[in-house]
Amino acid sequence: MGRKDKGEQPDPAPYGEQCKYDPSFRGPIRQRSCTDIICCILFVVFLAGYIVVGILAWLYGDPRQVIYPRNSTGSYCGIGGNRGKPYVLYFDLLQCVTSLNILATAMNGLQCPTTQICVASCPDAFWVVPPMGLLPGTKPADVLNQAWCEPSLNLSLTTLTVSQILSRELCPRYTIATTPIFNRCFPDFNTPAMDNFSLPNRTPNETKQLISSGAQQIVKSLNAKDIGTKIFEDFAGSWSWILIGLLIAMVLSLLFLLLLRLVAGVLVWVLILGVLAVGAYGIYHCWREYSALRTAGATISNIGFTTNLSVYSSVQETWLAALIILAVVEGVLLLLLIFLRKRILIAIALIQESSRAIGYMMSTLFYPLVTFLLLLICVAYWAMTALYLATSGTPLYRVTSSNSSDPRCSGILGNDTCNPMTFNASRYLPCPAAGCTFHTYDAEGLFQRNLFNLQIYNALGLLWGANFALALGQCVLAGAFAAYYWARDKPRDIPPCALGGALLRTLRYHTGSLAFGALILTIVQLIRILLEYLDHKLKEPRTPSHAVCSAVSNAASGAWRNSSNSSTGTPTSMIAIYGKNSARPPRTPSQLLMRNIIRVVVLDKVTDLLLFFGKLLVVRGASGSSGSSSSRAGSRSPTPSSARPPSSTTTGCPSWYTVVVGAYLIAQGFFSVYSMCVDTLFLCFLEDLERNDGSVEKQYYMSSSLMKLLNKKNKKAETK
């Protein structure tokens, strides 16, 4: 490594011997064998099982459940015979109130035992059947509205009287102003006329309370659905905004990489000086506040001890302490900048060299599109499988009576199952209003009882597949960039298809190693997700078990970060260069890095700072754009406060979180080009320093700018 600065390198004994000169080494080796074959077989078997789960979900699931509502006979509204009628109209909301209707109680509030039909638009007026309309001889067509009646009933041709039609609940006794929410006609409580509307034998206030209770019962039945179903209801209405957000993330990632290609060095110095400038402004602000409070005589002795922490911002001691802390931090940063300026320059030179490498191999800049496609396939397959799993189950029907107050229907308790295709109402005579009503979905089958386990398998497939896709991209890029560095004469000696060759080598020899590393990372991520879930559940009240769970969760978070670092970057680069399996590479590069620990830390922090701002830009831009668009879309049909579900998930949050996570994964995939380029070139640079010394036989492969920074040069062969 040339001249060693005092204290720069530790004793090399604990960290292995330096790399030896090998005249045959010219970058990624060609003669290699398959690695981690057992894990490769395990990964293939897992994928086969994942495909089987997807097929079973497709066979049993019905995503129409989360897109279209059902009427009381179980038919979907908006498709098939009900095309053009997307909304469900409830004839009598009072029958939904469990305290008034024994049938609603018997059905556990999962279904309202009143006739529900599909309509093209929701009623917008208050109306009650007038007493004169119930007189004998009155034509039903003169009293009732065909649009709000059962489609099988023709008011102009029927021989039934108005009283018979109402007793069989073929038409509603009343209508109120409603608005479509969740594709169901809910009362519009914002209409002033609601306060003056009353049903027969009830006051306006009592009528409003009962209608509100009925609407709330319907909302509770919607909230009783599986959480996965409710989430995908949100996805079904906002999938276009999710795609827009992910496309914005892809475009922003490409633009940021192009920006790094042009102004990488300038941007690094801008970020470093920006951090120092922010610290300097913080010192100035603290000094100004401290001076003002000292002049006013505001000290901590004037307020004493209080639990209101905001009060401490009004005393001079707080700002003095902040001033001292910021000054110390700023001083440390300035000293680091002064004493590590050479290593910072080396880091910037490596980043600029990475930009040149990407410029010579422009195909690497577009390889993240492959990673993006793989991640999109993983997310899409997971989402569709989860959707079909959440909607698996055959519909169940119960025998009900639309007129529960009729004494002749007292024997119908809503407990008997039925089939609407073979239902015979004559079996329940003398009740004239017996019918077969949709109740809920079957959750007792073998497949349905194991839905939770299958969803866990599905989540495991998502994480393992996504981590494998990212690791594959990193290994391929590492192989391509290593071939660039070890090219003697750039760009002439760069392999013509370095990226394609690296891809073929990785898929042929190292699928098992990448699957093994991705599996370790996936297991740690699952444990961390579980611990964070438990931590969230145990937050209130705070218990000893919560403290233990929080400690374990924090430890798992650290393990996850360490696993992320150890399963990517350096080991992946060594797999791509030397062709060793996942168990062997970490030792050699770790020793190499420990022998150059200061350079590692400086380069790592500078690169992390650069890419952190890039990821922040991508995620913020994608989530902000899609979030504002989806909120504008959602504002077109606001939910009245009186009928809004208290825990509804249809607020855009699942879609927004999906965009945030998807944008981060996309940014991670794209920025892995730059990150892997820097990591790979840095490893090659360190090996170059140890293997070669600039002599005629051991020429350096590094660029002239790096040799200039290190005061090194290649000797030329003497000509005779």
> What DSSP string describes 421-489?
TT--GGGGTT-TTEEEEEEEE---SHHHHTHHHHHHHHHHHHHHHHHHHHHHHHHHHHHHHHHHHT-SS
> Does residue 375 or residue 366 have the better pLDDT?
375
Q: Residue 351 to residues 76, 184, 253, 316, 502: CA-CA distances in angstroms?
A: 58, 57, 17, 44, 22
pLDDT of residue 230: 54
pLDDT of residue 464: 93
130-136, Cβ contacts within 8 angstroms, sequence gap of 24 or more: 133/162, 134/162, 134/163, 136/161
> Does residue 360 or residue 308 have the better pLDDT?
360
Asked if omega into 430 is within 30° of 0 (cis), the reply is yes
The full DSSP string for 308-321 is -GGGGGGSHHHHHH
Name every residue whose Cβ is closer than 8 Å to that of residue 593 and which is 6 or more positions away in sequence.
570, 600, 686
Residue-wise pLDDT for 491-532, tens only, equals 787 888 888 888 888 888 888 888 998 898 888 888 877 777
Residue-wise pLDDT for 445-489, tens only, equals 666 677 788 888 998 999 999 999 988 888 888 888 888 888 887
How far apart CA 272 and CA 347 sit, in angstroms, is 13
Structural tokens at position 160: 């039934």
How far apart CA 379 and CA 245 sit, in angstroms, is 14
How far apart CA 345 and CA 691 sit, in angstroms, is 22
pLDDT of residue 48: 94
How far apart CA 418 and CA 438 sit, in angstroms, is 9
Please state at what angle helix 653-691 crosses helix 363-390, rounded to 10 degrees.
140
Residue-wise pLDDT for 627-659, tens only, equals 555 444 444 443 344 444 333 334 445 666 777
Residue-wise pLDDT for 97-120, tens only, equals 766 555 555 444 446 777 888 999
Structural tokens at position 581: 């399996």
Residue of 462, 454, 460 lying closest to 380 (CA atoms) = 462
Number of H helices, E strands in the chain: 20, 9
Could you report how far apart the first and last alpha carbons of the chain are, in Å? Answer: 30
DSSP helix/strand/coil, 397 = strand
Please state at what angle helix 498-509 crosses helix 363-390, rounded to 10 degrees.
40
DSSP helix/strand/coil, 265 = helix
Identity of the residue numbered 521: L
Identity of the residue numbered 599: R
Residue 684 pLDDT > 70, yes or no? Answer: yes
Using the structure block, give the residue that is written with the tokens 């470093």: 272
How far apart CA 132 and CA 134 sit, in angstroms, is 5
The pLDDT of 35-53, averaged and rounded, is 91
Nearest-Å Rg of the Cα atoms of the chain is: 35
Asked if residues 592 and 688 have their Cβ atoms less than 8 Å apart, the reply is no
How far apart CA 121 and CA 184 sit, in angstroms, is 10
The values of phi and psi at residue 712, to 5°, are -120, 160
Lowest-confidence region among 42-56, 220-234, 373-387, 678-692? 220-234
DSSP helix/strand/coil, 567 = helix
Structural tokens at position 74: 């179980």
pLDDT of residue 257: 72
The values of phi and psi at residue 401, to 5°, are -125, 130
Asked if residues 540 and 478 have their Cβ atoms less than 8 Å apart, the reply is no
How far apart CA 385 and CA 594 sit, in angstroms, is 45
Q: Is the dihedral of CA 389, 393, 395, 399 positive or negative?
A: negative
How far apart CA 488 and CA 477 sit, in angstroms, is 19
How far apart CA 187 and CA 643 sit, in angstroms, is 8
Other residues' Cβ atoms within 10 Å of the Cβ of residue 326: 20
Q: Residue 305 — pLDDT band, cuts 50, 70, 90?
A: low
Residue 232 pLDDT > 70, yes or no? Answer: no
How far apart CA 63 and CA 79 sit, in angstroms, is 13
The pLDDT of 566-595, averaged and rounded, is 61
Could you tell me which residues are beta bridge partners of residue 418?
A: 397
Using the structure block, give the residue that is written with the tokens 């700023």: 330
pLDDT of residue 238: 66
The full DSSP string for 105-171 is HHTTTSS--S-EEEESS---S-EE--GGGGSTT--HHHHS-GGGS-TT--TTT----HHHHHHTTSS
**How does the average pLDDT of the chain come out, rounded?**
74
Residue-wise pLDDT for 245-301, tens only, equals 778 887 888 787 777 767 767 777 777 788 888 888 889 888 988 888 888 776 766
Percent of the chain with pLDDT over 70: 71
Other residues' Cβ atoms within 10 Å of the Cβ of residue 632: 10
